[in-house]
Amino acid sequence: MANASSMTIGDLAAATNTRVETVRWYEKVKLLPKPARSAGNYRLYGPEHLRRLSFIRRGRDLGFTVDQIRELLALADERGRSCAEVDTIARAHLAEVERKLSDLTRLARELSDVIGQCKCGSVADCRIIEALSPHGDLA
């Protein structure tokens, strides 16, 4: 890998476990600033790109939306500001994660109940197929 002050897009992508196309997309949607260009017109990324892309990747891994990450990056750029807005964004995201988790838990129970009713007989008598078509046969 090139040194951190002059990484190519491939170096940056590899360092952050990101696809090159994704790095370009983050630039296009202005999450990553445009990099400098070499004499040969190659993108040259610096340590600020590595830090920012690492932040974006971690945020995405935690399930933050692109818009939430955009807001968090804007707030992170204002180091002296209160972190109350960051807290608000994180708490809203946590509430959404908890809602989804509750939905998935309910879904798992329902699916487990349906599977538990299966007698492994013929498809004509299958409780799973019946549960998926509550208004009658598919035929």
Q: Are 12 and 54 in contact (CB under 8 A)?
A: no
pLDDT at residue 4, rounded to an integer: 52
* Token pair recorded at residue 137: 């046969």
Please identify every stretch of the chain with a pLDDT value under 50, giving residue numbers as ranges. Answer: 1-2
Q: Are 46 and 34 in contact (CB under 8 A)?
A: no
* Token pair recorded at residue 50: 């590595």
pLDDT at residue 1, rounded to an integer: 47
pLDDT at residue 131, rounded to an integer: 77
Q: Rounded to a whole number, what is the distance in angstroms from the first to the last CA of the chain?
A: 60
Q: Are 7 and 46 in contact (CB under 8 A)?
A: yes
Round to whole Å and give the CA distance between 97 and 110.
Answer: 20
Round to whole Å and give the CA distance between 32 and 49.
Answer: 7
